[in-house]
Structure 1
Amino acid sequence: MTTIVEKIASLGADEPFFSFEFFPPKTDSGLQNLIARIRRMAQLNPLFVNITWGAGGSTSTKSLDLATLCHSELNLTTCLHLTCTNMAKSVIDEALANAKKAGIRNILALRGDPPRGDEYWTPSADSQEFLHAVDLVKYIRKSYGDYFCIGVAAYPEGYADGSNPEAQDPLIDLPYLAEKTAAGADFIMTQLFFDTDQLLKFEKMVRSHESGVFKSIPIIPGLLPINTYQTFIRTAKLSHAHIPETIFERLNAIPNADDEQVKQVGVEVLVDMIKRIYTETEHRVRGFHFYTLNLERTTAMILEKSDVVHAATQSTAAKTVVPPAVAAVPSQSIESVISEVKDLKIADSAAVTSEASWDDFPNGRWGDPRSPAYGEIDGYGLTLHVPANKALELWGQPKSTDDISELFVKYLKGTLPVLPWSEEEGLSAETKLIESELIRLNKLGYWTVASQPSINGIRSDDPVFGWGPPHGYVFQKALIEFFVPEQNWLTLKRRLQTTGGDSVSYYACNAKGDFLSNMSASDVNAVTWGVFPNREVVQPTIIEEQSFRAWSEEAFGIWKEWQRLYPKSSPAWDLLDQIHGSYFLVSIVHHDYVNDKSLWDFLLQ
């Protein structure tokens, strides 16, 4: 029943500590494997763990279940995220009541990102009192007194809503942070950052605030371990974190963004950040929160190499006692635990080869659905990835399916920077190799949201297709996913059944949950794999029923997010509503990866 601030107070005056953050994966198998992973990571001795809460309460049940397990079964001091915007008061009341019932005493009170904007989000009648995080802090204190230890968020570079970059200034946010603190916050946790100078300036600015409310409150920096180059760039972009040029230079110097070298450099970057912060704040900042993205290897490597937080793994004051029934080897030294986590030696029944690839190649939705990291890495839930005003500017007021087809074609031609299912990164180099085929399909009303060409034994250092360690060879099957009207899908299905044979595998479903496939529930398609020296074959990308069902729910949900941009019963609102209710999402894999035209010839006959 100990709170976070009570645990901090039990430490020595300069004693460092660290904490981990986890999010509920989208699949049941991912959740089970995350639980096994948390059991291992608990032995690294975090002061506490955070469990995220999806925007609008989208993961409320899973989040509370996971937090309860961490608290009750693993003896971990647990902090539950709680957002308040775009969410009914009854959901907040239920979450707080269930958290107390479970014995959880720590809440991170958040407004909830991303903000919607007036034209995109209107508070419901019973959520009007929760427009900002301070409203939630006040409500918790009023309803529960001192039972909950409350944390609030801070933004060392200033809060960014994406629509007005000039407004991103920590000085603008400071009065709001002071108000949240005065309302009853017990600790402050920062958004992720990579600019250490900015964090140091922020800490000095906060401590010297005239109100005096920040004089002794713990400030815990949020750190993102760098696992892969693409995940690093994407997450930093979503959070609007400034990346110093020196970090870019170190990462860009790595040939072909080799994943293992990226991890090593990323570890060095974070070790340097931790040392500077701990030293230059004269230990006023001594806790470090890791946004793990449900991955363990890189975090364990940081703990091992950092003189600051490695010492925290030895702490007896913060020691977590994992129940013997779930502990791997209770008598292990912390060095051997770190070694096990780094090497991914499994204390559970999971397969070593598949688990190793989870951390080596964490590709989110395109990864292994059994991975603990399978899901939305930003934790925001469904989002259009662009502010509402910009989305309206980009996508206009579609009135017909031809207008939708035109948007998809413009995106493929590079004249439209983003679609609701994509981010502002543009097409990959490999997608451009099948650009003409994709444009033809989209003009026919097959709106593509994912695709890849087939390749057969290309070197792993290839600038377009390469991935993984050097001196290897990579392979992939052609695949495509698209939205299509029901009648077109039924016609295509007959062709798949009569002429596709064993060469083609497919999944299809609609928003109502009608599901069709020519595979069994246990079938798994490896669509990307690699062969490397001194390693088993690695299969970082697989397609199977569990992952497709999880993705389809999200994919159809994005239609509804887009629809919310428009007034109810307007032409655009009606069109998107009709598409959501009548279209199918179809995923097709062609197994003849030796012939790079097989899938496209089949579809465009």
Structure 2
Amino acid sequence: MQKITEKISTLGQDEPFYSFEFFPPKTETGVQNLVARIRRMAQLNPLFVNITWGAGGSTSTKSLDLAALCYKELGLTTCLHLTCTNMDKKVIDDALLAAKSKGIRNILALRGDPPRGEEYWTPSEGQEFKHAVDLVKHIRSQYGDYFCIGVAAYPEGYADGSNPEEQDFRLDLPYLEEKTRAGADFIMTQLFFDTTQFVKFENTLREHPSGLFKSIPLIPGLLPINTYQSFIRTAKLSHAHIPESVLDRLNAVASSDDEEVKQAGVDILVSMIDQIYEKTNHRVRGFHFYTLNLERSVALILDKSNVVKSPLRIAGSSPAGTAFDSATSSIDSALASLKFSDPKVSMTAEASWDDFPNGRWGDPRSPAYGEIDGYGITLHVPANRALELWGHPTETSDISDLFVKYLQGKLPVLPWSEEEGLSAETKIIESKLVALNKQGLWTVASQPALNSVRSDDTVFGWGPPNGYVFQKALIEFFVPAETWLQLKKRLQSCSSDTLSYYACNNQGDFFSNMNAQDVNAVTWGVFPNREVVQPTIIEEQSFRAWAEEAFAIWTEWQHLYAKDSRTTELLGNIRDNYFLVSITHHDYVNTGALWEFL
């Protein structure tokens, strides 16, 4: 495998290039479908691909396997992310050794997000990495020049959300200089939408008195906009400033049509690429796409852009010396039969489950089913704000009060929600949810039943115009083990044709009246000239994946407090002695059926 910098050096002086980032999905089906997706996107001819490394090394095995497949089976120059904060040295060394054994020669060395709580900043024995520069130095000391090493930069300044006024890239320059001196070969930026700020950042780097940044490749990280909500969420998590022109463009179509949002997002990214390329006098000619494992927007951007437009590989051809189309390839034969022509046609057809990724559940078959890399399990707000909002609960009644206040609009966010307030549709069932939470059933997801509402409805609508949308009533909540035993008897008395349920605890005890292969569509839409679209389904794979995350959030909440505090003890007891329960009522015509049962 070539190093990224070696590949860049073979290009013409002003020749643009681009790269893609992928993350390992949470489900095995999602992983299988991601392989098919990467194969199609490989024919867009990216210079390289990045494979992310989950927070704390949570996806290390999957990340390494996916990186090896991209290189050995698909012939792609591959870069593996590696985070180091709060990681044992052995984990880092094992990952580097495995990467080398698999032929991977490119590493993006990142700090990663540290756990909350003062004691978690103090490395225990074997934990030697506090900052990305420590990782860069370690890689160089152990492997010399074998790896091409990339590091991260923040065009708007690094921010953890605790004090936005201190977000200034000039404050971060000494750290970037230190990482570069330690052996960084290229720089990749955090996502941004303010091109003026990026150009200012680039000019400052090139004119830096050290001369370190005069010729080092600087690759801007760009996020294709697929849906309005995901755009707002990601910008907030990354603390990216959104220029008024970008926000106005998206707000103009946000309430009308998901497809229009996607098209507006394509136009915004095309304009950003054009501006960066021209305003930096072609010094910046590489563009990295944070794909979120979605393909269609990326394909459309490359199709419309005059800067990064590149001829596609001929379908069926393979990079020299690879097994891309070999009969001996270990890729499933069904994947090997995939063909590619026009990205606007082929990718749309293959990506139908990603067209309208509304709702938290999504479709576990989708390659995009999972979390955005780098954030992992998150409380959605900085530690100091979390303490201000949630205080120091010591009784289960204190937790109930927090959930009720959130439903009543008196609290802006909970550990399982985002700081956006309740949706308009949740307001419709607010009184039902408040009653349940007062009884100690802490709800983390819900939706009312819906029968044939127009797709342009201001509360429930989604998708293209002139369509109709439907949804089943569902609810999901944490409940004490003893209450679950009572509820289980009632659920078992109902036919699965009426109610379906899933339940599990943190120890892995699992209960359901569904078969492992059953799939329950809870949201769907019918639109002119389209197949029925089912953007939200619930089944065993997705529930198990979400439950693991949902219980881990209790642990993250614990990390705000001293280890011996009553609050830490309370949150730990809840995590270890509660069940997460998901119930769906199939009679979507009778909008009160679920609530009558409860």
Do these two structures clear the TM 0.5 threshold for a shared fold by scoring above it?
Answer: yes
Q: CA deviation at 1:567?
A: 1.8
1:495 alignment partner, SS class: helix
The equivalent residue for 1:338 is: 343
Q: CA deviation at 1:343?
A: 3.0
2:120 alignment partner, SS class: coil
Aligned ranges 1:509-520 → 2 under 5 Å: 509-520=504-515
Match of residue 404, structure 2, among 400, 409, 424 = 409
Aligned ranges 1:201-220 → 2 under 5 Å: 201-220=200-219
Corresponding letter in the other structure for 1:529? W
Q: CA deviation at 1:499?
A: 4.7
The equivalent residue for 2:103 is: 103
The equivalent residue for 1:445 is: 440
The equivalent residue for 1:357 is: 353
Asked if the contact 2:359/2:536 (under 8 Å) is kept, the reply is no
Q: CA deviation at 1:223?
A: 0.5
Kindly provide the CA deviation profile for residues 189-244 of structure 1, in whole angstroms up to 9, marking residues without a partner as x: 00111111011100000000011100110000001011111111111111111111
Aligned ranges 1:132-171 → 2 under 5 Å: 132-171=131-170
1: distance between equivalents of 2:589 and 2:336?
47
Asked if the contact 1:362/1:373 (under 8 Å) is kept, the reply is no
The equivalent residue for 2:91 is: 91
2: distance between equivalents of 1:118 and 1:575?
17
2:511 alignment partner, SS class: strand
Are positions 1:197 and 2:196 aligned together? yes
Distance 1:71 1:445, change over 3 A: same
Aligned ranges 1:4-403 → 2 under 5 Å: 4-113=4-113, 115-119=114-118, 121-126=120-125, 128-254=127-253, 256-311=255-310, 320=319, 323-325=324-326, 336-344=341-349, 346=350, 355-358=351-354, 360-363=355-358, 365-403=360-398
Kindly provide the CA deviation profile for residues 277-334 of structure 1, in whole angstroms up to 9, marking residues without a partner as x: 111211110000000000000000001111111137579xxx95562136989998x8
Gaps of 5+ in 2: none
Asked if the contact 1:300/1:341 (under 8 Å) is kept, the reply is no
Kindly provide the CA deviation profile for residues 49-72 of structure 1, in whole angstroms up to 9, marking residues without a partner as x: 000111111111111111111111
Q: CA deviation at 1:379?
A: 4.1
Corresponding letter in the other structure for 2:70? C
Asked if the contact 1:23/1:63 (under 8 Å) is kept, the reply is yes
Corresponding letter in the other structure for 1:436? S
Corresponding letter in the other structure for 1:42? A
The equivalent residue for 1:597 is: 592
Asked if the contact 1:364/1:377 (under 8 Å) is kept, the reply is no
1: distance between equivalents of 2:119 and 2:425?
35
Q: CA deviation at 1:364?
A: 7.0
TM-score normalised by L of structure 1: 0.94
1: distance between equivalents of 2:359 and 2:374?
12
Corresponding letter in the other structure for 1:223? L
1: distance between equivalents of 2:407 and 2:119?
27
Q: CA deviation at 1:495?
A: 1.1
How many residue pairs get aligned? The number is 587
Kindly provide the CA deviation profile for residues 103-135 of structure 1, in whole angstroms up to 9, marking residues without a partner as x: 10000000103x445537334323553111111
1: distance between equivalents of 2:254 and 2:378?
33
The equivalent residue for 1:506 is: 501
Distance 1:117 1:164, change over 3 A: farther
Structure 1, 495-504 or 431-440: larger mean CA deviation: 495-504
Kindly provide the CA deviation profile for residues 522-566 of structure 1, in whole angstroms up to 9, marking residues without a partner as x: 111110011111111111100000100000011111111111222
2: distance between equivalents of 1:378 and 1:443?
35
Corresponding letter in the other structure for 1:570? S
Corresponding letter in the other structure for 2:40? R
2: distance between equivalents of 1:104 and 1:199?
30
Kindly provide the CA deviation profile for residues 557-582 of structure 1, in whole angstroms up to 9, marking residues without a partner as x: 11111112222232111111111111
Are positions 1:476 and 2:465 aligned together? no
Kindly provide the CA deviation profile for residues 466-516 of structure 1, in whole angstroms up to 9, marking residues without a partner as x: 000000110000000000011111111111122566311100000010000
Asked if the contact 2:20/2:290 (under 8 Å) is kept, the reply is yes
Are positions 1:547 and 2:546 aligned together? no
Asked if the contact 2:468/2:526 (under 8 Å) is kept, the reply is yes
2:121 alignment partner, SS class: coil
1:243 alignment partner, SS class: coil
2: distance between equivalents of 1:268 and 1:423?
28
Q: CA deviation at 1:338?
A: 2.7
Corresponding letter in the other structure for 1:448? T
2: distance between equivalents of 1:450 and 1:440?
15
2: distance between equivalents of 1:72 and 1:331?
18
Distance 1:548 1:331, change over 3 A: closer
2: distance between equivalents of 1:148 and 1:306?
32
Distance 1:566 1:255, change over 3 A: closer
Q: CA deviation at 1:601?
A: 1.2
1: distance between equivalents of 2:579 and 2:497?
22
Kindly provide the CA deviation profile for residues 413-448 of structure 1, in whole angstroms up to 9, marking residues without a partner as x: 111111111111111000010000000000000000
2: distance between equivalents of 1:598 and 1:120?
49
Distance 1:585 1:63, change over 3 A: same
Distance 1:364 1:84, change over 3 A: farther
Asked if the contact 1:526/1:541 (under 8 Å) is kept, the reply is yes
Q: CA deviation at 1:362?
A: 2.5
Asked if the contact 1:453/1:477 (under 8 Å) is kept, the reply is yes
Asked if the contact 2:43/2:313 (under 8 Å) is kept, the reply is no
Distance 1:276 1:120, change over 3 A: farther
Asked if the contact 1:296/1:341 (under 8 Å) is kept, the reply is no
Distance 1:288 1:547, change over 3 A: same
2: distance between equivalents of 1:501 and 1:573?
38
The equivalent residue for 1:349 is: none
Are positions 1:576 and 2:571 aligned together? yes
1: distance between equivalents of 2:313 and 2:24?
28
Are positions 1:534 and 2:534 aligned together? no
